[in-house]
Amino acid sequence: MSGRRPDPLLRESPPGPRTRFPAPAALFGAPAILPPRHGSSGDSAFLSIVLEEFDRNAFEIALLPHVALACKRALACTCYALRERLTPHLRAATLSVRRGDAIWRNALFVARLPGLTDLRVEGETCLPSMDLARYRRLEALKVGALSTPAALFFGAAIAASNARLRLSDGNAIRNIAALRSSPSPDKAEPNASDADRAALLGALASNQHEIFSALDALSYASGALGHDREVVRAAVREDGTALEYASSELRADKSIVMDAVRTGATGAWPGAWLGLASEALRGDSEVVLAAGTRYVARALSYATDAVKEDRAVVLVAVRMDGMALRYAAGSIKGDREVVLEAVRQSGQALQYATGSLRADRAVAFEAVRQDGDALRWAGAVIKADKDVALAAVRKEGRTLEFVAEALQADREVVLAAVDQAQARAQATFRSTLALIASAGATGTVLSASATLRAHLRQVLLYARDRLFEDDAFVLAAHEHAKAIWTTPANDLQDMRERLRLLKELV
């Protein structure tokens, strides 16, 4: 099959300027690249609240058990702010996984955890807690009555050992060292159980040959199932990315691919199914647009050049998801009507427009009305336009970072940003409390004043110092921030110093 092959379990970073953080991607098997806003004052308000207000117990008890292992690994690599919290959890001696975590990429991760001594698989009754330190020392092990998810992780955890593994029929025996060193291990016996296949697949996680890919591994485990139309159809109806394991003939079957399209993906790579289809189907506009609102942008990224150059197709796509503009042909990115439709659906699509359209006042106005943060992508003249700046900060106060320097000292603009930050803080506080309650956590782990402080900091950081000499600004800004202070201000100078302190604490 021509075209690039996506990895359905590693999420691609959002587009735009990128910053590489110091931790190596190999630690968790996910890319360590994000736009700058994920590592600076542009972090989402919710993450700021989580980091500032959740104590470690609340974070681990209320949130982590509900997050998939693949997602934790991706966050540990891509979110600089959460890495400190997640690294100890992922590197702990005890690891708990859910049944839905039983995928090849997670097995590879578990195989790279030599310090892991206790593995627990949700719902496992045969072996609820695996004493891995003991199992790795034994010369003979058996699959027994392990469930399929538990068998996959069991195999991965012992993949570096030299044990002999007896399969569930009680007769067949495999040598783990041989599985690890062979460039083409013998396949499982035809009558092997699902648990046997899963255990052997897990044991292959330490195979020393790079040529042994995830696709080879699944072929090893499932034999010729990728050629079975009904098996493949059932699989793609559950998760479109299962198309990866279909034969080339079935990846060229429009009805099979359309089933994958309608299903989408439950993993971290929505829309990846089109990258797995035949080239003919990647050039079929009906197949591309069938992805719908959630996946059409990613689907367009795998479409042929002819589809990306088709104005009518792109126009329909950006009305579903403005970010689909990213994958349109260069000539389409300069089409004013297409770009207007894109930014009305997603203001962030402005970054993919041509320079002349990013400097177009009407286009920029539509973008910031949809997403204030889109101002970052506008031309310098637009950032100095007070009306556009006001529209942006009223939508997202932190956008004050991107307005022209003169407007960062404008009382009306900065107070509009402060007002929006206060409203956002109240909404964030309520939604965070609701999340904590729904997760069954008890106790108070954050306060309204701390939530407000986190939001106002992100605005005042970009207010120019000379504005703090404006008495009218100081009075108004202090009124917005009064919930932060435990005692009333003595006078105007006291208010001024409090606001300056809040700015300096960022």
Q: How far apart are CA 139 and CA 196, in angstroms?
A: 18
Burial per residue of 18-55, b for 16 or more beta-carbon CB atoms within 10 angstroms, e otherwise: eeebeeeeebbbbbbbbbebbbeebbebeebbbbebbe
Residue-wise pLDDT tens digits, 206-246: 775 543 444 344 444 444 446 667 657 766 776 677 787 77
Q: In the 3-class helix/strand/coil scheme, how is 151-187 assigned residue by residue? A: HHHHHHHCCCCCCEEECCCCCCEEEHHHHHHCCCCCC
| Residue in 102, 111, 103 with CA at minimum distance from that of residue 132 | 111
Surface-to-core class of residue 339, CB atoms within 10 Å of its CB (0-12 exposed, 13-18 middle, 19+ buried): buried
φ, ψ (nearest 5 deg) of residue 148: -60, -45
Asked if 107 and 152 touch (Cβ cutoff 8 Å), the reply is yes
Residue-wise pLDDT tens digits, 165-207: 888 877 778 888 888 777 666 666 667 777 887 788 788 777 7
Helices 69-78 + 104-111 axis angle, to 10: 70
Asked if 378 and 388 touch (Cβ cutoff 8 Å), the reply is yes
Lowest mean per-residue pLDDT among 63-72, 125-134, 160-169, 253-262: 63-72
Identify the residue with better confidence: 64 or 371.
371
Tokens of 498: 């409090």
Residue-wise pLDDT tens digits, 447-503: 667 778 888 888 888 999 899 999 999 999 888 888 787 788 889 898 888 888 888
How open is the CA angle 20-23-25, to the nearest 5 degrees?
80
User: With 70 as the cut, is the pLDDT of residue 100 above it?
Assistant: yes
Q: How far apart are CA 336 and CA 149, in angstroms?
A: 51
Q: How far apart are CA 286 and CA 284, in angstroms?
A: 5
Query: DSSP 3-state assignment of 213?
Result: coil
Residue-wise pLDDT tens digits, 15-46: 333 222 222 222 233 322 222 333 333 334 44
Identify the residue with better confidence: 374 or 137.
374
Residue-wise pLDDT tens digits, 54-96: 555 556 656 677 777 877 887 777 776 677 778 888 888 999 8
Residue type, 23: A
Which residue, chain included where needed, has tokens 């029929």? 169
Question: Which DSSP string corresponds to 223-274?
Answer: GGGGG-HHHHHHHHHH-GGGGGGS-HHHHT-HHHHHHHHHH--SSS-TTTHH
> Quick one: what percent of the chain has pLDDT higher than 70?
74
Question: Which DSSP string corresponds to 134-154?
Answer: HHTT-SEEE-TT--HHHHHHH
Identify the residue with better confidence: 20 or 134.
134
Asked if 174 and 147 touch (Cβ cutoff 8 Å), the reply is no
Which residue, chain included where needed, has tokens 């009904």? 230
Q: How far apart are CA 139 and CA 60, in angstroms?
A: 36
Which residue, chain included where needed, has tokens 């005042």? 460
pTM listed for this prediction = 0.57
Query: DSSP 3-state assignment of 283?
Result: coil
Asked if 318 and 289 touch (Cβ cutoff 8 Å), the reply is no
Tokens of 443: 């106790």
Q: How far apart are CA 307 and CA 313, in angstroms?
A: 7
Which residue, chain included where needed, has tokens 């197709």? 313
pLDDT value for 210: 45
4 pLDDT band, cuts 50/70/90, is very low
Instruction: Please say whether the dihedral angle defined by the alpha carbons of residues 488, 493, 498 and 503, taken in this order, is positive or negative.
Output: positive
pLDDT value for 28: 33
